[in-house]
Amino acid sequence: MSQSNPLDKNSLVLEKIKAGDKAALLDLYESNLSMVSNHILKNNGSRDEAKDILHDSLIVLWNNIRKPDFKLTSKPSTYIMAVSKNLWLKKLSKAKRESSKDITTLNVSDHPLSVHQIDVKKAMLALDEIGDTCKQILSKFYFDGFSMKEIASQMNYANADTAKAKKHQCFKRLSEIIKSRYNLTDFLG
């Protein structure tokens, strides 16, 4: 009795997938879900995240096997696991970078605050501490959407640059108050 070569079996699966056989792709998904899930669950992930990562890994495989110069030199499961590990590592790294942001990294032009993005109660408590003038400038700019020129006119500043400088000072003071009480993740929704 002759045994079939595992590489021939893998080649057959890949050829079926390359030809558009969705059942073969689904089989690959089901046969690798447990392995990928175990890795992701052990590394601070959930079962749903594992499914998403496996799905994305299969898309990578799907796209690569359709390239004429692509040659898979390992079992599909080995390839899928390697891609899954890399995708999960990228996701964890991105989440770590985002959670480690400090309030000092907020840049007015990069992160315009809006009512939809912040906890308004926390913002108002902090705004109450910076004085009426600053509260008016920041509220007009961030909450009401007024331009610097409009704020300068309404608040009797010489020009938009003067209003912008005052807004910058006020925002800096507000940042210091917020930084002393909250993490960025507490403040942004």
Domain boundaries, the chain: 6-99, 103-187
Query: What is the Rg, in whole angstroms, of the alpha carbon atoms belonging to the chain?
Result: 27
> What gap in Å lies between CA 137 and CA 170, rounded to an integer?
8
DSSP 66-96: TSTT----S-HHHHHHHHHHHHHHHHHHHHH
Say how far apart CA 131 and CA 128 lie, in whole Å: 6
Q: What pLDDT is recorded for position 105?
A: 43
**CATH class name, domain 6-99:** mainly alpha
Residue type, 155: M
What letter would DSSP give residue 182?
-
110 band by pLDDT with thresholds 50, 70 and 90: very low
Percent of the chain past pLDDT 90, that is, above it, reads 22
